[in-house]
Each structure stands twice: as C-alpha cells, then as structure tokens.
Amino acid sequence: MNKKAEVAFNNNSSELIISDLRIWVYLGCSLEEKHHKQPISIDINLLFTTMPVAINTDNIADVICYAKLTKLAKLAAEQKKYNLIEHLAANIHKAIITEVLQAGYKDTSLKIKVTKMKPPIDGVHGGVSFIYNV
C-alpha cells in the first residue's frame, strides 16, 4: 500500500472489527489443559485515525485484508502451547500490528481480546477474557 491509501477526514476515525474468531489451542497451566486443546474466541479491533482510501475506491488493494488478519491470529495462537492468556494475546497482537504497520497504516491502534471459553473454574460460564491494547 502506498501513502495515498489513507485520506484525512476531519479528525474522524473508523474501525475494522473482527468478532468471535474461534479456534482450538493449547492454553493453560494444569497438566490436563496442557494436553488437550480448548476453544478460545478472539476479537480484533483496528482503529484508524485516518480513513482508509477504500471507502472511496471500493478496491481491495486499498485496505487491510481481514482474511489475512484472521490467518495471522490463528497462526500466532497455534504456533505453540501457551500457559497464559496474557502471553497469547500479546503474541497475536505482535503478529497483526506488524502486518498493519508494513501495510502503511502508521496511525492505527490495535486491540486484541482473547477469551478462554471454558476455563476450569466452577461457576464461570461466560469464559475469562484478557484485552491487550497497546
């Protein structure tokens, strides 16, 4: 993407939100968790302080492909076994922000939310989440 890929919009912003990407990973500290994959949900939120040019061009070359972002998140999550949800979220963030910056979106912030959907804790039915927002 070139420098023309963003247009100023009077201090407005826009967001790309990918919600509830579900994958199975090794995540946890107990022996049982270390030996069995479990479901997690990932939310990816990109905040653009400069509007992507694609709002005017309708051209895929002028945006960050969200299919690629989901693939990067999945690769980061599946590349190894994780003890902690915090470390997993940070690795997903690192993989995606690297792609975003290489695509030329310098004024973009990224928030990653990882939810461990079935933590081994009695009474927790909605999962446990960690949000990494740098």
Q: Which residues are catalytic?
A: 116
**Which 8-state DSSP code applies to residue 125?**
-
Helix (H) or strand (E) segment spanning residue 49 = none
The two beta strands, 128-133 and 108-116, are: antiparallel
Where do runs of H (alpha helix) occur along the chain? Answer: 31-35, 54-57, 66-78, 85-102
Q: Which residues contact 82 (CB under 8 A, 6 or more apart)?
A: 25, 26, 27, 28, 88, 91
